[in-house]
Structure 1
Amino acid sequence: MKKLVLVAAMFVAIQANAQIKTPQASLKAEVEQVVGLTDFDINYFRPAKKGRLVFGDLVPYGKVWRTGANQNTTIEFNTQVEINGMAVQPGKYALYTIPKAEMWDVVLYKTTDNWGLPKTWNDSDVVLKTSVKPYALPHDVEYLTINVSPKNNEQGTIDLSWEKTLIQIPFTVPTHKIAMESINTNLNDAAKANDYYAAGVYLFNTNTDIKKALEYVNKSITMQNGEAPFYMLRQKSLIQAANGDKKGAVETAKKSLELSEKAGNEDYIKMNRNSILEWSKS
């Protein structure tokens, strides 16, 4: 008996001092993506296909799947997000799916510390359940892959692909609402030149209010004693042209051209020259 205890103790000591490192069967992955003003963070483990039939076999149809391996696959975002048209409050959620041949169910679940599925499924912890159509891929995806794919500052998809299957979960984020709230709240006596410039460019780029955009950019330049850099003057010229002031736009573009030549910025030199030529013909 003493020998057995001694051998067991030696085995534990060897294990504690082992230096061998081997890879996990499922690769740990993290996806971080900003869409507009919303931060997405997805953590998951990526099982491999390894020649197996995945959907309908390894991952059965019609049953809740952990959507990965090991611990919960989690998704976190810091603003309200509309997923497939349904509003979800900011937070961290476990991502579950129910794969089917014709349609997949997607579930966001409050509890995120499970190893795979919860021991007891509580419908009260389901914050979202929606359905999306699967698409057939022309090639095999060896490892489960989850990505956040922005379409613009307001929209995107959460993409899940494995084997020859792709699902895309559409979402929208409240970028414009947040940006306008920030502009309306922070353009006050404490605002700096860069604040007015950023606000003006945003209003112009989103075609929200091009007259106010010019007002804000002019305010920014005035706050810099008229010594604005070439890229700010470039933006001002574009906003002037959008407001119908082509003559003023040409004059501003010439100033931007002069400064961009001094800075040796070939991109702005070319853009200014092209704009001057175009606006001079109008």
Structure 2
Amino acid sequence: MKKILFTAVCLIGLIGFQDVQAQETQLSSQPNFPKLDTSPLDMILHRNQKDEVLMRVIYSRPQMRDREIFGKLVPYGEVWRTGANEATEITFYKDMSIGGETVKAGTYTLYTIPNEKHWTIILNKSIHTWGAYEYTDEQDYVRIKVPVRNASHNIENFSMAIEQKEDEAGANLLMGWADKYVKIPFSPAG
């Protein structure tokens, strides 16, 4: 009887050991997902009162990480991809007016040229680009200047948001990082 009991315990242990090995094999064959990007991709949408999407912006959100941003990491007077990684892209689903300039519906790259007192906002026809390495002003569609504003607190990650204008169809695209931000006015054309 002791031999039968000993054999049964050994078999149960062996089956359990094989089950653990099978689970470990399954776990090791699982995909190795990467860590979160240090400048994660984000998207904002702007909708009208009828819940129709008017605009979409896809951009990456770099972090300050105790670095001096404007004038150092992002040099003044140079074309910036307006974020990190791929250049920021903006899609208009209807014709829009931006700073008094009419922009046809479509997708554009959103570049900027930061300066201390103003930013030049550039909508460029070349899309699906990495950084600003391939930027050429020959592809510029619209350029406007907007004043730089001081933020009430530091903005750790480069951020964008929509600010709806009161009693108007238009809105402002806000872009901010560190202690600065800009407002880009836009509204449906026509």
TM-score, normalization: structure 1? Answer: 0.53
Q: Structure 1 residues 38 and 28, CA, compared in 2 at 3 Å: closer, same or farther?
A: closer
Q: Structure 1 residues 79 and 120, CA, compared in 2 at 3 Å: closer, same or farther?
A: closer
* Displacement of 1:20: 4.5
1:161 corresponds in structure 2 to 176
Number of residue-to-residue matches in the alignment: 159
Amino acid at match of 2:32: Q
- SS of 1:145's partner is strand
RMSD after superposition: 1.8
Q: Contact (CA 8 Å) 1:35, 1:173: kept in 2 or not?
A: no
Q: Give matches, 1:44-55, under 5 Å.
A: 44-55=59-70
- In terms of fraction of residues, the more strand-rich structure is 2
Q: Deviations over 1:171-209 (max 9, x none)?
A: 1214xx6xxxxxxxxxxxxxxxxxxxxxxxxxxxxxxxx
2:46 corresponds in structure 1 to 33
* More deviation, 29-38/42-51: 29-38
Quick one: distance in 1 between partners of 2:67 and 2:153?
15
* Displacement of 1:23: 1.1
- SS of 1:124's partner is helix
- SS of 2:173's partner is strand
1:172 corresponds in structure 2 to 187
1:203 corresponds in structure 2 to none
Q: Contact (CA 8 Å) 2:45, 2:53: kept in 1 or not?
A: no
- SS of 2:138's partner is helix
1:42 aligns with 2:57: yes
1:116 corresponds in structure 2 to 131
* Displacement of 1:137: 1.0
> Larger relative contact order (C-alpha < 8 A, sep ≥ 6)?
2
Q: Which of 99, 105, 109 is equivalent to 1:84?
A: 99
Q: Give matches, 1:117-196, under 5 Å.
A: 117-119=132-134, 121=136, 123-151=137-165, 152=167, 154-174=169-189
* % identity of equivalent residues: 29
CA radius of gyration, larger in: 1
TM-score, normalization: structure 2? Answer: 0.78
* Displacement of 1:149: 1.9
1:97 corresponds in structure 2 to 112
Amino acid at match of 1:117: A
Q: Structure 1 residues 97 and 139, CA, compared in 2 at 3 Å: closer, same or farther?
A: same
Amino acid at match of 2:40: L
- In structure 2, the gaps of 5 or more residues are 1-28
